[in-house]
Amino acid sequence: MNTIQPTLADNDTETMQVLENICSKSDVARAYTLFSKRKDYAIFTEAGTGSRLKIYISDIMLVNAGIAEKEHIELVLENGEKHTVINYPLNTLLEVASKLVQVNKNQLVSIDAVNEIRHNLITLKGLFKNKPAYICLHPDFLSSFREKLFYR
């Protein structure tokens, strides 16, 4: 029986290739879904009402933090819906959402929502009733943004 070390490679694709050499593909896929930090959905607490929202992570296109209050974040979904939620840090969303990338201190954007990039200005696809939205890309987050965009 082969023993698998938890840190086989630096990224997920290399790890998957090494595991496929040792185990069957179905075993690897099952283990990856069980132990991966990535989730299909998350449960959020809505600000104001306190009700629970089940939102699919892949539907989140834009995240604005600290709009009304420091602990509030606004989620803009693929269908244009907006939800203000509480007690869900940006770092946690970054860990569980593979398509979200931080573009500045208070905003995350889905790679799928990016339409165009010019210098430090990102144009988003029509999230707001076919009107373009613009977001400033801070230089501190430029390298991680480029990496996510390149490896999407």
Query: Does the pLDDT value for residue 35 go beyond 70?
Result: no
pLDDT for 51 beyond 90 = yes
As given in the structure block, the two tokens for residue 146 are 């480029």
State mean pLDDT over 57-61: 92
- Give the residue among 138, 69, 152 at the shortest CA–CA distance from 108: 138
What sign for the dihedral angle of Cα 46, 49, 51, 55? negative
Q: pTM for this structure? A: 0.69
Mean pLDDT for the chain overall = 79
- Tell me how far CA of residue 137 lies from CA of 26, 42, 83, 101, in angstroms: 40, 26, 23, 11
Across residues 65-75, what is the average pLDDT? 82
pLDDT at 31: 67
Q: Which two tokens stand for residue 55?
A: 């939102």
Q: Which domains does the chain have, with CATH numbers?
A: 41-150 (2.40.50.1020)
Confidence of residue 143 (pLDDT cuts 50, 70, 90): confident
